[in-house]
A and B are shown apart, each in its own frame.
Chain A
Amino acid sequence: MLLNWCDWLQHSWWVASLDGSVALSVLVELGHYFGFFLIVGSIVVVDLRILGLAGRGHDAARLAGQLFPVMWTGLFFALLTGFLMFADDAVALFPNPVFRIKLLVVLLAVIFGAIVQWRVGRWDRFARIPVSAKCLAAVSLALWIGAILSSVEVPHLTYVP
């Protein structure tokens, strides 16, 4: 049933018009790249701060408060353009195991990012950032690198035998 929906989506008129226009395709790709640059750049620096590897001169919560709106803005653009890129090739992507792994890794990475944002104010009140917080930050960091790796593996493992 979902595959039928993918077929309908891929052949709807607006997806066809998107596919036919080079300018629109470039714009969508631009939005996706810039969106994930903003997400990954901001969350990774917050993770590194919690791990004690960045910006130790200031509170982690203040840096996080400054950067998280950048992350959510990036996520908005990446999801919007990601959906459009998916729509263009939905029938092939939907059953693709590499693509499914990518979605799962991205979902987990967003959840861990949200947990870090939710807890970072509390961690700052301790004299030293707790080890459990550092573990969470390390997992978040690894998930975002995994998100990029699984994304670049989608065309690589799908179209190259």
Chain B
Amino acid sequence: MGRIDIKQDLKALNNQIAAENREKFAANGVYVINVMGSPGSGKTTFLENVLPHLSSKLKTAVIEGDLATQNDAKRIEKTGVTAIQINTGGGCHLDAQMIEKQLEKLALESLDLLVIENVGNLVCPASFDLGEDMRMVILSIAEGDDKPLKYPVAFLNADVAVITKIDLAPYIDADVAAMRRNIGEINPKVAVFEAGMKNGVYSADEVTAYILGQAEKKQQQR
């Protein structure tokens, strides 16, 4: 019996395509955000509210990932931003190749910002690099303030976390400060922001300003 050494990571192909995507984004000065979070955490609602403020300053497009339906792409297009829907069938995450296939439709040279809304799932998307600059986790306070401790890898790999639905905190047994502490316990480097309804208006000004700042930094590095 013989032994053959293989020494290859099963995610090597994904990582290679992600690196190629990243090069294309860099060559065209496109800042890319990979938005991850549980189903129902408020990812699409967050984007619907934040995109108008981003697209007024940056030429923006969105890739929407879901198992089925065009619903989210339609919601995004109502904000005036171009959206492409990927349906994964049963796939639990987007991978680098799915993104690569969409790039031709996007005319990268005329974009400044690409937002990719991953499949609603706090586990698998964290393990697949797409070529993004920023990994953003959206989690709602309604999911419970110990959520970061229960799904550590998503937060370990994140750059930014946005706690949504903070206006619901008084009605449920969950504490925004505790959720912030729990994110910091997994990864102290995550920049944490809050979003939710304030006096009848969706409020996410700080994270919007942060995204604009990061995207501008990338353009200046070009």
Are A and B genuine complex partners?
no
Q: Which chain A residues have a beta carbon within 8 Å of chain B's beta carbons?
A: none
